[in-house]
Amino acid sequence: MTRLNRPAIFVVESNPGPLELIQQELHKRYAADYNIHYAALPFEALATLSTLREAGAPVATILASCWLEGMGGETFLQLARHLHPQARRVLLTTRGDKSVAQTIIHASAIGTIDAYSSKPLGAADEDFHIVVSQMLHDWVAENRPPYIVARIVGDQWSRRSHELRDLCKRNSLTFEFYDTDSAEGRSLLEESGCPAGPLPVVLLADGQALTDPSNIELAEALDRASIADITGPLPEGVVDVVIVGAGPAGLSAAVYGASEGLSTLVVERVAIGGQAGMSSRIRNYMGFPMGISGGELASRAYWQAWLFGTDFTFGREVAELEVQGDERVLRLADGGEVRARAVILAMGVSYRRLGIQALDELIGAGVFYGSASAEAVAMKGQKVFVLGAGNSAGQAALHLARFAEDVTVLVRADSLLPSMSEYLIREIESTPNVRVRTNTEVVGGGGSYRLEQLVLERNGTRETVPAHALFVLIGATPHTEWLPETVCRTEEGYIVTGRELLEDETPPTEWPLERRPYLLETSIPGVFAAGDVRHGSLKRVASAVGEGSTAITFVHRYLAGD
């Protein structure tokens, strides 16, 4: 039975034998929850996809054979992408057919396909099903979460509304957002018992209503409701190693620390994943040939570390570090305190501000720093700008393009080439609703309550353009301002470690021991730094992960020897 509001799986295969087998396999597994459409000819398939689009019927995944009558599968998927940009696209190949390798490499490099799979060879071909299931999982995660943990009512364009959406998204908490002006928003406010706010109001699945909650208040309420074990109690004794930050470096240190028998605590002020958690697809991390979303990678690492026995506490910010004999004491912004034998600083970096007051006043109200993933769905049909020329700007633009009407990447230089990976540039070039404006700077902008326009300057000429959102991704600064003077840092704030502490050109530090500092050790013995926060780090997920695990090796050595 076809119901328009059910998502669709769409298959195009011109060869009757494989088509019949695909039909049988998909029908057995997915017919109860999805509408399944089949077509033999690509033009016929495009016409049906177009009709579905006009009817507003969601398409979750499109599978197309490499060889179709009258058109290659890659070309077909490229055309289908215009009609249903959110659908996951899979190229179907014949097992063992090496002649399609170049097509797959090209199609994946320019973002035409999300995955490829061999056509099923017989019943219950799990290799085929795992690809289909993964595509449906990814689509559902973005478009139709199975249950809602939190409903947030607030002003769509207020900074705190944005922060709460971001917090939920990055903690994998499914949420819905309602503007205060909407009928649903008003009715939820009545239901909450606090119609006058203060806003935003968060209604949790167990009925709790929180008015303008802080991160820690929200985390504690989620714990009370047994929805998510986010805050966790602080340990009372001395922990072997405390890790500050749950980005890739911190998570990796947690996995290795706990699995190697150290009592391990991670303190994170926002959510797992750090910057990587904002990335819609990390394509250069080993072991994931078609890429993996940063959120998914972080979530897997979190569960791995947790299963080895790591304790986590989220929504808490470390604000002070003090040395008391053999113990390293970390004080938290909310007043708590943890004592450790060793510490790993993995606080990463955050995006540099634009420094234009009119725009900084609109942060969360159309101006966003770094995170594009929490806002992407809200950008449906909007004119969106991305400022920056690095890989994170490229990824944000491509992710936003799935939802926004058009995306303009603003670049100060005359090309993306020196700063962005070639695969992203190619993907941007082949995405119809993304364009790049080079030699362009943002010099102003504004709007009443939310961003409405930007002032751009190109070769001395200024132009005001209508804009619904600006995502700023223009380089980063490390989160080290809270550390004591005794932690040696560069002028920009990056932490100096290891042998560099003894080199002349670094700022003068007293290394207090006779032994030389271990690799990744800071100027305080027993305090290590890993990932982007460290001077000389490579600013990659893989290197942050490598440094997190390496730091644990030296924590062992420090604990054994000092």
Ligand X SMILES: Cc1cc2nc3c(=O)[nH]c(=O)nc-3n(C[C@H](O)[C@H](O)[C@H](O)COP(=O)(O)OP(=O)(O)OC[C@H]3O[C@@H](n4cnc5c(N)ncnc54)[C@H](O)[C@@H]3O)c2cc1C
Q: Which residues bind ligand X (CB under 6 A)?
A: 244-250, 267-270, 274-276, 278-279, 282-284, 317-318, 346-349, 370, 391-392, 395-396, 479, 482, 531-533, 539-542, 544
CB of 398 to ligand X, least distance (A): 11
CB of 425 to ligand X, least distance (A): 14
Nearer to ligand X, 43 or 303 (CB): 303
CB of 72 to ligand X, least distance (A): 28
**What's the CA gap between 245 and 266, in Å, rounded?**
7
Tell me the two tokens of residue 342: 């060793």
Whose CB is nearest to ligand X? Answer: 348
CB of 233 to ligand X, least distance (A): 17
Tokens 């007043």 locate to: 335
Phi-psi region of 439 (alpha: psi -120 to 50; beta: other; left: phi over 0): left
3-class state of residue 217 by DSSP: helix
Count Cα atoms within 13 angstroms, Cβ side, for 123: 1
CB of 246 to ligand X, least distance (A): 5
Nearer to ligand X, 260 or 334 (CB): 334
**What's the CA gap between 71 and 74, in Å, rounded?**
8
Nearer to ligand X, 181 or 481 (CB): 481
CB of 268 to ligand X, least distance (A): 5
Surface-to-core class of residue 496, CB atoms within 10 Å of its CB (0-12 exposed, 13-18 middle, 19+ buried): buried
Phi-psi region of 418 (alpha: psi -120 to 50; beta: other; left: phi over 0): alpha
CB of 127 to ligand X, least distance (A): 26
Could you tell me what percentage of the chain is helix, strand and coil, using 3-state DSSP and rounding each to the nearest 5? 35, 25, 40
Nearer to ligand X, 60 or 376 (CB): 376
Answer for the pair 48, 146: CB distance below 8 angstroms, yes or no. Answer: no
Nearest by Cα to 216 from 296, 335, 306, 307 = 335
CB of 562 to ligand X, least distance (A): 25
Tell me the two tokens of residue 492: 């920009």
CB of 214 to ligand X, least distance (A): 15
Nearer to ligand X, 64 or 305 (CB): 305
Compute and round to an integer the Cα radius of gyration of the chain: 25
Nearest by Cα to 36 from 65, 7, 57, 14 = 7
**What's the CA gap between 422 and 93, in Å, rounded?**
26
Tell me the two tokens of residue 486: 């005794």
Nearer to ligand X, 21 or 270 (CB): 270
Nearer to ligand X, 67 or 302 (CB): 302
Nearer to ligand X, 218 or 246 (CB): 246
Beta bridge partners, 91, equal 64, 116
Nearest by Cα to 62 from 147, 53, 424 = 53
**What's the CA gap between 305 and 256, in Å, rounded?**
8
Nearer to ligand X, 84 or 402 (CB): 402
Nearer to ligand X, 38 or 302 (CB): 302
CB of 294 to ligand X, least distance (A): 6
Nearest by Cα to 184 from 153, 150, 146 = 153
